[in-house]
Chains A and B, each alone.
Chain A
Amino acid sequence: MSATIEIRDVAKIFRQFSGVFTAPRMVRAVDGVSLTVPAGGCFGIVGESGCGKSTLARLILGLHPASSGDILVDGRSLMAMPRRERARLIQPVFQDPFSSLNPRRSIHDIVGLPLAAQGISGSEITKRVHAMLERVGLRAEMAGRSPAQLSGGQRQRVAIARALVLGPRIVVCDEPTSALDVSVQAQILNLLADLRRDMGLTLVFISHNLAVVEHICDEVAVMYLGRVVEHAETDALFRAPTHPYTRALLASVLTPEPGLGIPDVGLGDAYPDPANIPPGCRFHPRCPMVTAACRTELQVPRRVGERVVECMLA
């Protein structure tokens, strides 16, 4: 039932124009990523703001054409797939339930839109929309409301219903709970876990919240400046982070345990710019373990036991 995603050396370069006379900035948002997302798993993607997580998600969803490389689902190239077919295979759930739902449409129309786009008849749409709403914990009578009449958590349930109504095999969640209260976040995470089990979904789960990723993902890829710098099974990654960036990232997680204080992560303030990628290891301007060689030698992913790490010390 579920599907494997194979990401092969994918890159996405955006041209950002700032004025008529200045050359465009070439933003290397995703810069050579290769990953295999196993069927039926929950695959986490983490990394700081601007590192390319959402861009990678949009590439997987086919919302951006790749600048180079390819993405295959069960061996078939996504780029070559017709849109309708792709929609039946992969669906998104985005962060902001306030802006991702059209405020002028009813919940019925929002959830039913993917069905209508497949040419399904009106009465069948209504039947499936009601069933889907109940599946995500909403009453069917809410179908008549507009998004403004729902709470944040209810809106995110609507977004999930819309993503699942075609019975996709892959759901890409980009910060699905970041805009929600802690108490509501837990409801949505539990719902996603249930649905994944019942429907045999492959989940790609992007989040800033590492505690959540540790809790629900089987594997995690850590991105830095457009590349995957470490990829491992969740337990291995959290037990023994290997890349210096992964270490800093995990050290920064503040678990709710009083008395532990705030760790010193030692990353400095040299924030990276994807239009101006440093030579050598792209993490070297902030790396606490940097050596002279790191400034010149390009790093490539290397397999270290069961994990993949892009650092010469690994």
Chain B
Amino acid sequence: MSALLEVSGLRVRFNEKAEAVRGVSITVNKGETHCLVGESGCGKSVSALAVMGLLAKGGIRTADALSFAGQDLRGLTEGQMSRLRGDKMAMIFQEPMTSLNPAYTIGSQMAEVLVRHRGGSKRAALDRAAALLGRVGITAPGLRLGQFPHQLSGGLRQRVMIAMALMCDPDLLIADEPTTALDVTVQAQILRLLMELQAELGLAILLITHDLGIVARMAHRVSVMYAGKVVESASAEALFAAPTHPYTRGLLDCVPIPGKIARGAPLGSIPGTVPRISLGFQGCGFRDRCGHADASCAQDVPAQSFAEGHDYACRLPAGWATERAA
């Protein structure tokens, strides 16, 4: 598989005191879903926005490498970036209303994307919009094209967002919690759609979520973030079979899995909360919540491999968790 998006050593800060993203590396291959999970505030959205060149004012991005389809994104001007966005790389934001303009109909907003990037007539663009709305499971596309965002339910709006992101046949789709606000039945419909589109079009998806169920069902690869860093990265199978970083293990213990844990029995939990990470912070960001922390965890944490393609950042040896269980 070929790497479509390559991010290495990505750092983001908004002020002189704190760093939101502290050296994140992620590769998304063509036709693959890469899930980004982690505690609220760990830097998932900021990482995605940094890749898209959409950081809020004052956000400073640096990276050792940042390339899309072989093109280095670091040197691009804002004009060049905006030609890529919505075209070859598209993003679905968590709150659909922030990216839909309440003053324009669904049809004119969808058509505008295509006309801006590819030219052609508005008529042709509307036809494509209608076809895509049908594709995302909207039964009366003609009617929806003429409606305004506030006239649609949350589930419909989110489908519109997905259809809009697909207007220009992107190669990469970054989806930030695309189904968090939706009912589980609608969520299943939308995720299924993304999987179908991926199978058909070879779409690469960077999917941000905090839902481990979605990760298990959707991801080819998973990166677990904590306090601005990727602490573990593996294929979905490997991550669920042999979670190795103590945070990943803690996270997996927190979710009730029917049949695996008796009803009413206490769930695992991670005591404490996420620390604030100041600039120049040293050592493991998880150490004040980790049951395995020792003095060495305040020094730099080694990057280790559990197996080929399964990496984690912790002082503990690769087999620690399985040896203990055995």
Contacts and interface: CB of A to CB of B under 8 A. Distances in A.
Nearest to B268: A186
A48 B185 contact: yes
B264 A215 contact: yes
B258 interface: yes
Contacts of A265: 185, 188-189
A273 to B, nearest CB: 9
A253 B184 contact: yes
Interface in B254-286: 254-258, 261, 263-264, 266-271, 273
- The bracket for how many chain B residues form the interface is 35 or more
A262 B194 CA distance: 10
B9 to A, nearest CB: 27
B153 interface: yes
A268 B139 contact: yes
A256 B269 contact: no
B216 A186 contact: no
Interface string A202-238: 0000001011101110000000000000000011001
Interface string B14-50: 0000000000000000000000000110000000000
Interface in A166-205: 181-187, 189-190, 193
A35 interface: no
A176 B243 CA distance: 28
Contacts of B258: 211, 214-215, 238, 255
A261 interface: yes
Interface residues of A, number: 48
Contact of B237 (A254, A258, A268): A258
A257 B216 contact: yes
B290 interface: no
A260 B256 contact: no
B281 to A, nearest CB: 19
B137 interface: yes
A216 B263 contact: yes
A186 B155 CA distance: 28
A151 interface: yes
Contacts of B218: 262
A183 B269 contact: yes
Nearest to A248: B185
> Across chains A and B, which 5 residue pairs bring their CB atoms closest together, nearest first?
A254-B213, A215-B256, A186-B269, A183-B270, A186-B254
